[in-house]
């Protein structure tokens, strides 16, 4: 699980604006063009890029957060004043600053949720992240954008398949927690694009889709429960089964993190017809237990004092208990109370706090994977990162083995030295995900491909 997008990086989605002004003696719109700079979040500086296209319009790039050409709003500019707002971002995110003609820079403050961060922009495009594993065309296989229905919703995705004719075995990818696009893009990484590329090159058709409310998929994730999400995955299996280029008897599921909850839930349905399941960092215990333990190990790894760790663990346990019981009103009251205990400049509006407590979060917290895992009688690979602090193998490995004990073809494996995203790491801390250039360690890709070829040969 992603801990709802891992702390401050998910919270501070930033932007900068367009400035411009004209006079008879100076060039008009001095801010037109490309700019880049750093949002000075303590301990987590965030690189941004802005393209100014006029006095009242502009877009922003935030490579670490996968933000590309996002429009700004409420842009006001002059030579001595620059301001803007950012649409669809919590915390009333806005920028106030000015264009400094002497240095040819834009300087100012970014404010969100009562916190203020300095920003200085200079001319030029933001440096793209180095992601050496990201697949680039031309590809030695076919790629097709597809849509299909899940109840009243349209689900959008991409199907890749080997070149040539025939019926190929197929894999449906299921993302981790929170709203994800079909590439499961985060911190500039596209792990599902890489996995799809790897498996398609090995001879498998691969379907990856946008989550509810993301990209081309309808609905809203916050309103969904696990029946809804399992039905979405089952609709994907049905779509694959309907195609003439897919072998209907060899369709399997690949779930990452929370997807490792949903894949067994779907595969355990008697009518699913799922032939195999691969679970990457899929928890072996309930959502409530994972949330509490990841709180403990991440805070400890970050050097928090023991008394602060225990306080946060108690708070996480109390909140999880309310969510598990379906008491969303009580959970919102508790979250508001915790918010009110923060320093005034760090508090969020009540509406923003309430928005974090959703039916989807309650479903995730309450979910117990034991019944679905125990019912599986298909080839299953469940593997964990030895340095994972979000789904710690010390918590989930043995329960996973216990739940799969009756399955005649189940493999549970811990890969040393990799984190929750299967990146090589010394610490496993989530705040390192963005700085690690490797998207998925090559040995992980080789291990998964080897298992799949051995159990479901491509031909």
What percentage of the chain carries pLDDT values higher than 90? 71
Provide the percentage of residues in the chain whose pLDDT is more than 70: 92
Say if residue 232's pLDDT is above 90: yes
> Cβ(161)–Cβ(245) under 8 Å?
yes
CA distance 116 to 155: 39
Residue 52 · residue 33 · CB < 8 Å: yes
Q: Which tokens in the block code for residue 426? A: 């010394």
**Rounded average pLDDT over 212-233:** 97
Contact predicate 436/451, CB 8 Å: no
Q: Classify the C-alpha dihedral 203-209-215-216 as positive or negative.
A: positive
pLDDT at residue 6, rounded to an integer: 39
Confidence of residue 9 (pLDDT cuts 50, 70, 90): very low
Identify the pLDDT of residue 21: 36
Q: Tell me the pLDDT band of 89, cut-offs 50, 70 and 90.
A: confident
Model pLDDT, residue 29: 66
Confidence of residue 399 (pLDDT cuts 50, 70, 90): very high
Q: Is the pLDDT of residue 7 over 60?
A: no
Report the pLDDT value the prediction gives residue 430, as an integer from 0 to 100: 94
Q: What is the mean pLDDT of residues 228-250?
A: 98
Any idea which of 17-26, 213-222, 386-395 has the lowest mean pLDDT? 17-26
Q: CATH fold of 141-285+368-455, please? A: Rossmann fold (3.40.50)
Averaged confidence pLDDT in the chain: 90
The per-residue pLDDT for range 90-128, each reduced to its tens digit, is 777 888 888 888 999 989 998 887 788 889 999 999 988
Domain 3-123 class?
A: mainly beta
State how far the Cα of 337 lies from the Cα of 9, in Å rounded to an integer.
23
Q: What is the model's pLDDT at position 134?
A: 97
The more confident residue out of 441 and 434 is 441
Q: Are 328 and 365 in contact (CB under 8 A)?
A: no
Q: How confident is the model at residue 16, as a pLDDT?
A: 28
Asked if pLDDT for residue 51 goes beyond 90, the answer is no
Extents of the domains making up the chain: 3-123, 141-285+368-455, 287-363
Mean pLDDT of 363-375: 98
Cα–Cα distances in Å, from 326 out to 118, 159, 352, 372, 391?
41, 37, 20, 21, 23
User: What's the pLDDT score for residue 3?
Assistant: 44
232 or 30: which leads in pLDDT: 232
* Fold match between domain 3-123 and domain 141-285+368-455: no
Q: Which long-range contacts (CB under 8 A, 24 or more apart) does 8-11 make?
A: 8/41, 8/44, 9/44, 9/46, 9/64, 9/65, 9/187, 9/431, 9/434, 10/65, 11/90, 11/91, 11/112, 11/113
Torsion over CA: 149, 229, 398, 280 (sign): positive
pLDDT band for 352, please (50, 70, 90 cuts): confident
Which range is least confidently modeled, 4-18, 52-66, 172-186, 285-299?
A: 4-18
pLDDT one-digit tens code per residue, 138-181: 999 999 999 999 999 999 999 999 999 989 999 999 999 999 99
Q: Which residues are registered as beta bridge partners of 435?
A: none
């Amino acid at each position: 699980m992603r801990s709802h997008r891992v702390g401050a990086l998910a919270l501070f989605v930033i932007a900068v604006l367009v400035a411009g002004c004209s006079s008879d003696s100076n060039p008009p719109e001095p801010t037109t063009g490309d700019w880049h700079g750093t949002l000075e979040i303590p301990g987590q500086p965030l690189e941004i890029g802005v393209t100014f296209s006029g006095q009242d319009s502009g877009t922003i790039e935030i490579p670490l957060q996968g933000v590309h050409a996002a429009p700004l709003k409420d842009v006001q500019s002059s030579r001595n004043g620059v301001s803007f707002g950012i649409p669809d971002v919590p915390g009333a995110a806005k920028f106030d600053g000015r264009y400094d003609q002497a240095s040819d820079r834009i300087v100012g403050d970014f404010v969100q949720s009562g916190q203020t961060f300095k920003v200085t922009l200079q001319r030029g495009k933001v440096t793209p992240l180095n992601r050496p594993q990201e697949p680039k065309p031309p590809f030695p296989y076919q790629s097709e954008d597809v849509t299909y229905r899940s109840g009243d919703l349209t689900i959008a995705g991409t199907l890749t398949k080997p070149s040539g004719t025939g019926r190929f075995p197929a894999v449906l990818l299921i993302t981790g927690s929170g709203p994800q696009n079909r590439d499961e893009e985060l911190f500039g990484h596209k792990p599902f694009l890489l996995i799809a590329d790897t498996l398609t090159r090995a001879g498998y058709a691969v379907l990856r889709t946008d989550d509810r409310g993301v990209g081309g998929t309808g609905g809203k994730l916050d309103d969904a429960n696990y029946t809804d999400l399992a039905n979405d995955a089952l609709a994907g299996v049905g779509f694959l089964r309907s195609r003439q280029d897919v072998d209907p008897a060899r369709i399997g599921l690949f779930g990452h993190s929370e997807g490792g909850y949903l894949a067994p839930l779907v595969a355990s349905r008697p009518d699913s017809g799922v032939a195999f399941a691969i679970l990457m960092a899929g928890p072996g215990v309930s959502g409530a237990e994972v949330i509490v333990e990841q709180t403990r190990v991440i805070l400890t790894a970050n050097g928090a004092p023991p008394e602060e760790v225990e306080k946060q663990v108690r708070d996480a346990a109390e909140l999880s208990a309310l969510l598990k019981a379906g008491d969303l009103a009580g959970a919102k009251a508790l979250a508001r109370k915790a918010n009110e205990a923060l320093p005034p400049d760090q508090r969020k509006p009540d509406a923003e706090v309430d928005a974090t407590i959703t039916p989807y979060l309650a479903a995730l917290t309450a979910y117990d994977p034991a019944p679905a895992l125990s019912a599986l009688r298909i080839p299953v690979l469940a593997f964990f990162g030895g340095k994972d602090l979000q789904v710690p193998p010390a918590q989930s490995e043995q329960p996973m083995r216990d739940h799969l004990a009756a399955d005649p073809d189940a493999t549970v494996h811990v890969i040393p030295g990799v984190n929750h995203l299967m990146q090589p790491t010394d610490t496993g801390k989530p705040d390192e995900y963005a700085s690690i250039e490797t998207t998925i360690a090559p040995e992980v890709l080789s291990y998964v491909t080897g298992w799949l070829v051995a159990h479901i040969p491509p031909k």
